[in-house]
Structures are given as structure tokens and as C-alpha cells.
Copies of this chain bind each other. A is one copy, B any other.
Amino acid sequence: MPQNAQSFFNRHRETLEKAVAAIDSREYWTPYPESLKQYPEDAVKAAPQRFEALLRQPFALRKATAVAGQVGAEVSPYGFELGITYDQPEPAALIETMQAAMPAWRDAGAEARVGVCLEILARLNAMSPEIAQAVMHTSGQAPMMAFQAGGPHAQDRGLEAVAYAWQAMSRVPASAQWVKPQGKHDPLVLDKRYHIVPRGLSLVVACSTFPTWNTYPGLFASLATGNPVILKPHPGAILPVAMTARVAQEVLEEAGFDPCLVSLVPDTPEAPVAKTLALDPAVRLIDFTGSSAFGEWLECNATQAQVFTEKAGINSVIIDSVDSLKPVAQNLAFTLSLYAGQMCTTTQAIYVPRGGIETADGRLSFDEVAGALARAVEKFLADNDRACAVLGAIQSLATVERIAQCRALGEVLLDSEAREHPQFPRARVHTPLLLKVDADQKAAYSEERFGPISFIVATDDTRHSIALAREVIAEEGAITLGAYTTDEVVAAQFEELAMDIATPLSLNLDGGVFVNQSAAYSDFHATGGNPAATAALCDQAFVARRFVVVQSRRHGQAS
């Protein structure tokens, strides 16, 4: 093993062991602090200037092969052009070069590869404040979220993938002696060796809203198991992925490997390259986060590859009964407001019985429940500075347009407002739109309306709510399911529903945890068991499919 790779592994071995313990126990743990206070003050202060210094010029990565051209037209959702350009490698030459680099990476073994991955993650962690700037000004996330979700939480998901990969690879012994008794005769003896062999090139197609959080699991799961990785960022969020690629290339080179093992292939909306790359016979793994249409296209067409997709879904909350509505409404107000509903985990459909719900303070009508939710959002976002710090900016113009288009889909309980950002006057800041619909207006709420658009759906009763959620999620999928009840019998029905539609359940959240948050090492993000996703972040299936075991055997002498 190259010297540096071994020293990287030794340096991070304890972190690795703790991560493996955490994915087994599912208890709280993280090596990457989520408080800015725990990062060097200088790094935090310098981050905006460091980001500024990247603008209006080319962003350089290692030039492995011929360059097809320059791309890059990122515009911050906060209202300015980044002006950064990136080399677009010529795909065929790049693929050939990456394939040539694969055997050395494979033969280096699991310790070397995992050591390199852990060092990349450590360096990414150290530059979290700077990455936060890049995430903020591509995704539109607010500063705190861009830091936490784009930095330490994304690194957590990357480390989690490395831990799963290490665990899976460690289960396969490097060698074994097989001694089969033959009665009175000498036993049959075979000396066997077992090699972890990568599937081939890995393509990670990143999204514009979580360019690091949704990219790191596939990147690190593939890289740790020996597969070279092509990062194909969303044209609107290239920079955070490019910064990641640069760190990966630095570490790979220091460890004596070809830096092309992690390569960036940016493109433009006018000339997308993802389909061409996805169908290349050399590409054997594809991770994708984004639209259902493209995800399903990959699943049906890239049959030469193992395909891991996270797509759209109808995240749902069912309200049966509550102790006190106020903390529930506050909890849901946060969920609906955070990043203006642009999380893949944000609730879209809230099922409430038409006849109202029981609370500890007596029965509340449907309109009282709906009104309390609308008022809670209103109040939560009343202070404009706080609102902007929660909502962030809308990543895509299409999402802004969708808000207007959806107004007519139901009765407006709370209208979406445009807000002026205190610091960035041209930022696209919009508050949630909350609509009231009847259960039979299924077309309205059973199609994903990406962005700050949610529906309170009036149902016959909780049984009806469960039936509707079951039907809609079976057809369209979901990544999150919330539910509220004071009745353990009903709680058991929710648990059964969650299993039947393979969606993680958050029950009675009314404190400082939200249905749209998911913690690495403990929460499985998505399940892979409903139409919203073919994979969970992160489970055994997420890594086990990325390598095969190739053995050799020859006659041996019994030892």
C-alpha cells in the first residue's frame, strides 16, 4: 500500500471504528461538529472572501485528458452570476483514462482506499465554512443550513457510506484454507484467496438543491469499494461538487494514485451529457438524485448498471389526534418553511379528518386545525430576518413559477409571499403556499409540487387518511411520513402503514426534531422500497452491490 494511504488509514482508524459502531447501534454520534463555533474563527471569517476569490474566473482541476470545452453559467439564487467556468473533459478519453487507473486503485486494497476516503472527508470538513458559501450560492439554502447540510451533515453521510463499505469488505477474508476430510485418505486441501473487485466506472448525477449531501453517499460508497467516480453536477450547482472533486484529487495524488479516479464532468442545460454517460458500457454504477422522469429513464435504460435513484414523492403527514395542537402546528410550520419546501423530505400532503380531531382540550374542527397551521407558519415567518434565514432562496425559476400555477389547485389557506432579503435584494425569497383541498381532489395533491406548496386534505376520518396515504404513496412514493395520534391502537396502524408502503415514520413530533430532518448513522433516509427511491442512505444494499468477490484457489498443504 502506498505510504500516504497507510498513514491516512492509521490517522482516521478510530473515526472509522466509531462510525462502524454507530451504524450498528444507530445511536447519536458524529465526528463533524455542526456548530460554526467549533471551527477555527479565521476559517469562518475568511469563508466569504475565499468564495468571492473563486468568482469570475476558471476553476481548475487536474487535466487528465483532452478538454471538450468550457462550461459554467451558475447564478446565485441570491441574485448574482458566479461567472465561474469549468473544463468539460472529452468523455470517451476520460472514460478510457479512468478505466486504466482502476486496477491500481482496486489492487491497493480496502485499507488504502478507505484511508484516502477518510482523508478527503477530513479535509472537506475543515473547509466546511467555504463549502457552505458555495452551497448557499448555488442551491439557495440559507447560510446556517448551507453550512450544516452542505458541510458536516453531508460529510456524515459520506462517512456513513465509507463505514458500510468497510464493514462489507471486511466480512470477506483475504484468504482461507479449505480442508475437506476424506475418511481414511488424506484430506483435500485448497488455499484460497478472495479479492474485492469493483464493478467499474461509477457515475454520480448530482442535484441542484443538495449538491454535496446527496452526492457524498454515492461518491464515497463507490470510491471506497474501488470504483472510479465521474461527478456530473447539476448545471446550476457545479461549484460545491467541483470543490469536492479538487480535494479528492489532491488526496488521491498525495497517496500515489491517479487523481482522475474522481473526475468532474460538468455540462449545460442545452447540451446535457448525463444520458450519454449513463449508457456507456463502462459505467456500471449510477447514483442519481432528481426528477422521477429522469430517474425512471435511468432505471429502465441503463440496464448495464446498478442504478440508485432518489426521485420525487408525496411526503405526507396524517393527523388523527393530538395532546396540544400548538406545538404540533409549530413543528409543522418549521417543516414547511425550512428551505422553502425544497427538501426531498418536506411534507406536501397533510391529511386531517373533515370532522376535526380530538385534543386534550376538546375537539377541534378541521378549519381550526387548518387555521392553526396557517397561523403558525405566518407567525414563524413574521420577522423578516428570521424568515429569510429559514427560507433561504428558491433555487430554480421553475419553482417560483410553480407557486403561482398551484394557487388555483385549492382554497388558499395561506398565500405565498415574496420577501426582500435584508442582504441580497435580488434574492428569490418566497414563503409557503398552503392550500385546502378535499380528499377527492386527488389530482391536486397526489402529484409532486416541488417547492413551498402544501395541501391540507380533508378526509372522512383517520381510516380514510391512512387509505389515501397508502394509495398515493404506493403509486408515487414518499421519503417521509409523519403522523400524530394520542391513541396507541392508531399508532400501531401508522406503524403498519409505514411498513406496508416502506416509508420511514415520524410519530408525534412536537419538539425540536422535524419530519424532514434525517440523521446519519441513525436514520435511514428513504428505504428503496417505494417509488420515491430505489436506495436508502445508507444501508447494506447501498454498498454490497458496488463490488463483487473474485476468488482463486489452488492445491495446498494442510497447515
Residues of A within 8 A of B (CB): 24-28, 103, 106-107, 168, 171, 173, 176-182, 188, 190, 192-195, 197, 199, 299-300, 303, 494-496, 498-500, 502-513, 519, 522-524, 527-529, 536, 539-541, 544-545, 548-555
Q: A106 and B499 in contact (CB under 8 A), knowing A26-B192, A504-B550?
A: yes
Q: A502 and B176 in contact (CB under 8 A), knowing A192-B522, A555-B509?
A: no
Whether A554 and B507, one on each chain, are in contact in the complex, defined by CB atoms closer than 8 angstroms, is yes
Q: A499 and B550 in contact (CB under 8 A), knowing A26-B192, A545-B545?
A: yes
Q: A523 and B539 in contact (CB under 8 A), knowing A27-B176, A27-B178, A197-B502?
A: no
**Choice from B25, B197, B527 contacting A499 with Cβ under 8 Å:** B197
Interface of A is mostly: mixed
Copies in the complex: 2
- Chain B residue at smallest Cβ distance from A555: B511
Q: A509 and B554 in contact (CB under 8 A), knowing A502-B197, A549-B539?
A: yes
- Chain B residue at smallest Cβ distance from A193: B495
Separation of A188 and B522 alpha carbons in the complex (Å): 14
With a cutoff of 8 Å between Cβ atoms, the chain B residues found around residue A181 in the complex are 28
Whether B552 and A495, one on each chain, are in contact in the complex, defined by CB atoms closer than 8 angstroms, is yes
With a cutoff of 8 Å between Cβ atoms, the chain B residues found around residue A528 in the complex are 548
9 interchain pairs (CB within 8 A)? A25-B176, A27-B179, A28-B178, A197-B499, A197-B527, A300-B303, A505-B552, A505-B553, A539-B548
Separation of A106 and B176 alpha carbons in the complex (Å): 36
Separation of A103 and B492 alpha carbons in the complex (Å): 14
Separation of A495 and B107 alpha carbons in the complex (Å): 11
With a cutoff of 8 Å between Cβ atoms, the chain B residues found around residue A190 in the complex are 513
With a cutoff of 8 Å between Cβ atoms, the chain B residues found around residue A300 in the complex are 303
With a cutoff of 8 Å between Cβ atoms, the chain B residues found around residue A513 in the complex are 188, 190, 553, 555
Whether B553 and A524, one on each chain, are in contact in the complex, defined by CB atoms closer than 8 angstroms, is no
**Choice from B168, B188, B508 contacting A511 with Cβ under 8 Å:** B188
Q: A522 and B26 in contact (CB under 8 A), knowing A527-B549, A540-B544, A548-B529?
A: no
